Amino acid sequence: MKLLLTSSGITKKSIAEALIELTNKLPGQTKLAFIPTAANPETENKDWVINQYLNLWRYGYNWIDIVDPSAAEVDWKPRLEKVDIIYLSGGNTFYLLDQCRKTGFDKWLNENIKNKVYVGGSASSIIATPTIEVAGLPPGDENLPGLTDLAAFNWVNFEIEPHCDKDRFERVKKYAKLKPYPVYAIDDQTAIKVIDDKVDVVSEGSWEIFNS
């Protein structure tokens, strides 16, 4: 299993280099699927989604399919089978988890995760962890679908809170005291690289790890 869990995608050279290490391919030789599902319910300016996409181009990823499993009558499975990287954008974490369940995308990911590199951005990093509960920390995401079961993919034994500034670090520290596993608080210049059970932080910014 190879994961790159970020706040805002490939924002720094060190994070781009970490992705090359995970794929063991140069960007120009790599096929990537960009999945914007989490951004669907977000309103107004979506420059943050555009920036995630543009940063992929800046770092040399020029074979990009945009695939949304939640779109009606889209045969997304064969398209995802062709790519090396499954890259999910940020957005509303509750909506994303709900759509993953409804479309069967969660099952497909669990069946194929060993053959792909998974890149998460914000909401899609959170769903790789045991639970999306952290997404509800104020001023967090609105629980649009009214989920009561917040269990996520459980690929790693820690939680992540993205987009952290000084105040956010303090909130996450308090939250972590109630959890049975570590919680990473990361800013937009930080990523967590996971290869099976090995976890490394790649950062040109600020991050903290809090234990219960």
Q: Which two tokens stand for residue 34?
A: 């960009």
Domain count across the chain: 1
User: 3-state DSSP call for residue 61?
Assistant: coil
Q: Which pLDDT score is estimated for 67?
A: 98
CA dist., res. 200 & res. 143, Å (int): 31
CA dist., res. 87 & res. 165, Å (int): 25
Terminal CA-CA length for the chain = 26
Q: Indicate the residue type of 185.
A: A
Query: Residues 108, 115: contact at Cβ < 8 Å?
Result: no
Burial of 78 (0-12, 13-18, 19+ CB in 10 A): exposed
User: What band does 70 get if pLDDT is binned at 50, 70 and 90?
Assistant: very high
Q: Which domain holds residue 170?
A: 2-210
Q: Which pLDDT score is estimated for 166?
A: 85
Average pLDDT over residues 147-155: 98
In 3D space, the residue among 9, 10, 33, 22 whose CA is nearest the CA of residue 83 turns out to be 33
Average pLDDT over residues 18-32: 98
Q: Which pLDDT score is estimated for 133?
A: 97
User: What CATH number did the domain enclosing 50 receive?
Assistant: 3.40.50.880
Give the model confidence (pLDDT) of 80-133 as tens digits.
999 999 999 999 999 999 999 999 999 999 999 999 999 999 999 999 999 999
- The answer to which of 25-29, 76-80, 167-171, 199-203 has the lowest mean pLDDT is 167-171
User: 3-state DSSP call for residue 193?
Assistant: strand
Instruction: Kindly report the pTM of this predicted structure.
Output: 0.97
